[in-house]
Amino acid sequence: MPFNKDDAGRWVPVFPRHELGTAFAAGVWNIGPGGGRFAPAMRPVLSLEETLAGLKDAGCTHVEFHDTEAESADAEKIMAAVNNAGLKVHMCTANLFKRGPEFANGNFGSPVAATRAESVRRTKDYIRTGIEVFGAQVYVYWMSSNGFGGPFQVNYKDLYQQTADGLSEVVSWMLSEYGPERALPIAIEPKPNEPVSWGAPADCGETLAVISLMPDELRPFVGTNLETCHSLMAGKRYAAELGLAAAAGKCFYVHLNGGTGLKFDEDLAFGDNDFGVAVESVHTLQEIGYDTVVGIDVQPLSTDTAAQQNASIARSVRNFRRAREVAARIDAAELNALRARADRAGLSELYARILSGVDG
Ligand code: 3MF
Ligand code: MG
Lowest mean pLDDT of 111-115, 260-264, 349-353, name the range. Answer: 260-264
Determine if ligand 1 sits within 6 Å of the CB of residue 265: yes
Region 122-145: mean pLDDT is: 98
**What is the whole-number distance in angstroms between the Cα of residue 356 and the centre of ligand 1?**
33
Q: pLDDT tens across 160-203, in order?
A: 999 999 999 999 999 999 999 999 999 999 999 999 999 999 99
**What is the whole-number distance in angstroms between the Cα of residue 11 and the centre of ligand 2?**
26
**What is the whole-number distance in angstroms between the Cα of residue 142 and the centre of ligand 1?**
6
Residue % of the chain over a pLDDT of 90: 98
DSSP per-residue string spanning 254-297: EEE-B--SSSS---BPTTSS-HHHHHHHHHHHHHTT--SPEEE-
Q: Kindly report the protein residue whose alpha carbon is nearest to atom 2 of ligand 1.
A: 142
Region 67-95: mean pLDDT is: 98
Name the residue of 65, 142, 228 to mutate for ligand 1: max ligand atoms within 8 A of Cβ.
Answer: 142
**What is the whole-number distance in angstroms between the Cα of residue 225 and the centre of ligand 1?**
10
Q: Which atom of ligand 1 is nearest to the CA of 194?
A: 8
**What is the whole-number distance in angstroms between the Cα of residue 118 and the centre of ligand 2?**
22
Among all bound ligands, the one having the nearest atom to the CA of 64 is 1
Residue 225 CA to residue 286 CA, distance in Å, equals: 17
Asked whether residue 69 carries a pLDDT value surpassing 90, the answer given is yes
Asked whether residue 356 carries a pLDDT value surpassing 90, the answer given is yes
Q: Which atom of ligand 1 is nearest to the CA of 140?
A: 13
**pLDDT value for 154:** 98
Contact 223, 189 (CB under 8 A): no
**pLDDT value for 82:** 98
What's the longest Cα–Cα distance across the chain? 63
Determine if ligand 1 sits within 6 Å of the CB of residue 29: yes
Q: Which atom of ligand 1 is nearest to the CA of 142?
A: 13
Q: Kindly report the protein residue whose alpha carbon is nearest to atom 6 of ligand 1.
A: 142
Asked whether residue 145 carries a pLDDT value surpassing 80, the answer given is yes
Asked whether residue 60 carries a pLDDT value surpassing 80, the answer given is yes
**pLDDT value for 360:** 81
**What is the whole-number distance in angstroms between the Cα of residue 126 and the centre of ligand 1?**
16
With cut-offs at 50, 70 and 90, classify the pLDDT of residue 1: low
Contact 87, 60 (CB under 8 A): yes
Among all bound ligands, the one having the nearest atom to the CA of 139 is 1
Please state, rounded to an integer, the average pLDDT across all residues of the chain. 97
Determine if ligand 1 sits within 6 Å of the CB of residue 227: yes
Residue among 235, 232, 226, 329 nearest 272 (CA)? 232
**pLDDT value for 2:** 85
With cut-offs at 50, 70 and 90, classify the pLDDT of residue 46: very high
Name the residue of 186, 189, 252 to mutate for ligand 1: max ligand atoms within 8 A of Cβ.
Answer: 189
Residue 301 CA to residue 318 CA, distance in Å, equals: 16
Determine if ligand 1 sits within 6 Å of the CB of residue 266: no
Determine if ligand 1 sits within 6 Å of the CB of residue 191: yes
**pLDDT value for 54:** 98
Determine if ligand 1 sits within 6 Å of the CB of residue 65: no
Q: pLDDT tens across 3-44, in order?
A: 999 999 999 999 999 999 999 999 999 999 999 889 999 999
- Residue 148 bridge partners (DSSP): 198
Among all bound ligands, the one having the nearest atom to the CA of 93 is 1
Region 322-331: mean pLDDT is: 98
Asked whether residue 214 carries a pLDDT value surpassing 70, the answer given is yes
